[in-house]
Amino acid sequence: MRYFRLKTSATGSKHRGSYIAKRQWRLPDSVCPTCDTEYSDLGLELPPVNLSNHPGEKEFRKARQVPWDEYVRLRDGVMPYLPEGAVVQPGVGLGPLVGKASGSLPPFVLQDPWTMLVHGDVLEQMTAAGLTGIAPVESRITGNKRGPLYELALTRQGALGAGCQRVHYGEPCVTCGQSKYATSDTWWLDAGSVPTLDVVRFAAMPVYILVSERFAEFAARLDESGVAVEDVMGPPPEKKLPRKGAPPEPVLV
């Protein structure tokens, strides 16, 4: 089965809405004291997390930057509340989105390319169609004319194809585990490790959502769905060099 990158499409004249929202909780930002890494990966939010019963719940309400030792304390204290295998780093958002919608929203709301919202009736249609990878979390976004909006908490799957893997430089940091890297401007999926679900978060680059042919066909049947797809299966394009300014002698890992 072929897979595609999900993108926002023009919604025409029928849907002209938007929303403003933020996570109910989040880990504070911090900078690694060893390698000076500042974290900015998007798509790692964990909408199913519920910190209501956490004894220090108030510490996770406000976005802020803290020293590394304080971040580690808060991170370790929240780990029992996170799903198994969760990727955790400074600034990661936790819990449902809280905010307000306005105007008319399309069936699929991809206002940010890494956050997928759907209406309740669309969710029912997806379930009836047998689409897999759907783990809905009801948001706390008010003002939507069609009722509650649900965010899809997506499983991380998929790997970069040969010739466009991430290029790492040096050993991972002993404190935060990160290493400097570069990624090709053009990328495609590894044919040997394509996703097994109809909608997933791309494990290699979580800012992207990947969908199957079945999902693409389902979306195409909806009137002004709000999304479009781009083929990422190949054939492999011409290999490109890492971005300008990368250190010499890289090692593929």
Paired tokens of 81? 């509340």
Of 83, 25, 40, 26, which Cα lies nearest the Cα of 178? 40
Asked whether the beta carbons of 100 and 21 are under 8 A apart, the reply is yes
Across the chain, which has 253 residues, the per-10-residue mean pLDDT values are: 91 82 96 88 91 96 94 96 92 96 95 95 97 97 96 95 81 88 83 94 94 97 93 64 50 34
Domains in the chain: boundaries: 3-10+157-252, 18-152
Collect contacts of 31-38 with beta carbons under 8 A, ≥24 apart. 31/65, 31/68, 31/90, 32/68, 32/173, 32/175, 32/176, 32/178, 33/68, 33/175, 34/173, 34/174, 34/175, 34/176, 35/173, 35/175, 35/176, 35/178, 37/173, 37/176, 37/178
Torsion over CA: 244, 3, 179, 23 (sign): positive
From CA 75, how far away is CA 64, in angstroms rounded?
Answer: 14
pLDDT score of 238: 55
pLDDT of amino acid 244: 52
CB 89 within 8 A of CB 49: no
How high is the pLDDT of residue 38? 84
What is residue 186's predicted lDDT score, i.e. its pLDDT? 85
Q: Residue 118 forms beta bridges with which residues? A: 108, 150
Please name the amino acid found at residue 29.
D
pLDDT confidence of residue 137: 97
